[in-house]
Amino acid sequence: DWVMGDYIAEAVEAIRAQVGSDDVILGLSGGVDSSVAAALIHRAIGDQLTCVFVDHGLLRLNEGDMVMDMFARNLGVKVIRVDAVDDFMGKLAGVSDPEQKRKIIGKEFVEVFQAESKKLVSAKWLAQGTIYPDVIESAGKGKKGAHTIKSHHNVGGLPEDMHLKLLEPLRELFKDEVRELGVALGLPREMVYRHPFPGPGLGVRILGEVTLKAANLLQRADAIFIDELRATVATERDVAAGACTEADVGKTWYDLTSQAFAVFLPVKSVGVMGDGRTYENVVALRAVVTSDFMTAHWAHLPYELLGRVSNRIINEVRGLNRVVYDVSGKPPATIEWE
Ligand code: XMP
């Protein structure tokens, strides 16, 4: 629509005026904000932008390939993909404390990103997908106790010791405006309206020690869950069962939940398969409905949907033999398990 078209034209002009002929680097996480920032800056300055995508192995299934397809292949953005899986796994070996894991992932991320950025000697600017609520939140740091419950780490890099100037073209936008902008810039709607994903990724969804094996099992279980949520629409039966309202009929369960994911539990339980006994790990499914993520209800997903997800996970992911559903609200539970 023309309003967004005008906005893009203005934003493009502003970015060009700000950076001139300088080169810009941006840490692409696969999240909505950094993706929209990348698409906008690329629209403004093309090849003066280089994106760095750090693959730490704790992303959603095939996330790395998806990011490369979307940006490098479809939009022609310069993206350097850094395979840092071994680095991260090495640093995380033997660590099971949740806050410790967050710190390690955050620190390692900054180190890998900086090392890569330093190779781009011509870069004068560091672009970040900071949006208006982030600006407000960091201005209020220290005042609100809630944020210290978990140390939130966000992908982005530290400008201070990099001697780069900050470029933050989304600073004045709210999340819904960022999404609209993303669609207008040609990013797939499905990507732009994705559920949020935490900076430390699967690192906080693999309870206890993070291993590559657990990450692999979890990625596959999670992909099945998300697949089924996207493929299942709410029906009159769900309304009758009290799971949703009349207005929700026809929408997918993915759109009817605010965040949904699988959690790997470092617990084994006994199962049977054919004539044999299995002794394998348990995954928990978590799906919540919330408007602000400060409080949340567990989602009343239809039993048929949960049953299908459970069957598929157990049949398709060797190494998992039991699926449980989390029925805890926030508070007292948090949305993530760590
Ligand atoms: P909790 O678990 O605190 O999560 O109820 C609230 C929202 O924040 C996300 N979350 C994080 N995001 N870094 C992030 O970028 C983090 O360390 C982190 N921890 C939680 C969580 O996914 C949910 O959307």
Domains by residue range for the chain, with CATH: 2-195 (3.40.50.620), 205-325 (3.30.300.10)
**328: burial class by Cβ within 10 Å (0-12, 13-18, 19+)?**
middle
pLDDT higher than threshold 60 for residue 159: no
The average pLDDT across 276-299 equals 97
178: which 2 tokens?
């960022």
Q: How large is the average pLDDT for residues 52-58?
A: 96
Instruction: Return binding residues for ATP.
Output: 29-35
The dihedral through the CA atoms of 85, 90, 93, 96 has a sign that is negative
Query: What value does the mean pLDDT of the chain take?
Result: 93
Express as a percent the part of the chain with pLDDT over 90. 89
Mind listing the pLDDT tens digit for each residue in 111-154?
A: 999 999 999 999 999 999 999 999 988 877 654 444 444 444 45
What does the pLDDT look like over 66-116, one tens digit per residue?
Answer: 999 999 999 999 999 999 999 999 999 999 999 999 999 999 999 999 999
Is any atom of ligand 1 closer than 6 Å to the C-beta of 237?
A: no
Residues 61 and 90 sit within 8 Å (Cβ to Cβ): no
- Cβ atoms of residues 61 and 220 within 8 Å: yes
Going by CA atoms, what residue is nearest to atom 12 of ligand 1?
A: 198
Range of weakest confidence among 147-161, 211-225, 311-325: 147-161
On the question of pLDDT at 155 being above 60, the answer is no
**Res 160: pLDDT:** 62
Indicate whether residue 182 lines ligand 1 (CB < 6 A). Answer: no
Contact 204, 101 (CB under 8 A): yes
Q: Is residue 278 in contact with ligand 1, taking CB distance under 6 Å?
A: no
State which ligand 1 atom lies nearest to the alpha carbon of 154.
15
What CA–CA distance (Å, rounded) separates 41 from 52? Answer: 14
pLDDT bracket for residue 207 (50, 70, 90): very high
Q: Which atom of ligand 1 is nearest to the CA of 259?
A: 24
CA distance 135 to 154: 13
Find out whether the beta carbon of 152 lies less than 6 Å from any atom of ligand 1.
yes
Q: Where are the beta strands (DSSP E) in the chain?
A: 23-28, 49-55, 78-83, 123-127, 165-167, 259-273, 276-289, 297-298, 320-325
> Which pLDDT value is given to residue 316?
98
Per-residue confidence (pLDDT) for residue 151, from 0 to 100:
46
Compute φ and ψ for 241, nearest 5 degrees: -80, 0
> Does the Cβ of 286 fall within 6 Å of ligand 1?
no
Stated length of the chain: 338
> Residue with the nearest Cα to atom 17 of ligand 1?
152
